[in-house]
């Protein structure tokens, strides 16, 4: 087996095993972070 073929096979196997969390699947957690960030920006604006 050529090195290139073996490498591609390895990459495909690893990609199939990985379970990356996409931003749109995080739902409530993402909403909480956004709300926290917005409140920090607003409090900074009022302090200035």
pLDDT of 33 above 70: yes
Sketch the domain layout of the chain as residue ranges: 21-48
Q: Mean pLDDT over residues 20-35, rounded?
A: 81
Q: Mean pLDDT over residues 23-41, rounded?
A: 84
pLDDT of residue 46: 65
What gap in Å lies between CA 28 and CA 23, rounded to an integer? 11
Angstrom CA distances, 21 to 15, 24, 26, 27, 36, stand at 13, 8, 7, 11, 21
User: What pTM, to 2 d.p., does this model score?
Assistant: 0.38
What gap in Å lies between CA 21 and CA 46, rounded to an integer? 35
Q: Please report, in angstroms and rounded to a whole number, the separation of the first and last CA atoms in the chain.
A: 65
Model confidence at 26, in pLDDT bands (50, 70, 90)? confident
Model confidence at 3, in pLDDT bands (50, 70, 90)? confident
What gap in Å lies between CA 28 and CA 46, rounded to an integer? 27
């Amino acid at each position: 087996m050529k090195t290139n073929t073996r490498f591609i096979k390895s990459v495909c196997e690893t990609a199939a095993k990985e379970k990356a969390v996409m931003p749109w699947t995080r739902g409530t957690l993402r909403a909480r972070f956004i709300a926290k960030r917005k409140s920090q920006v607003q409090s900074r604006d009022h302090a200035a």
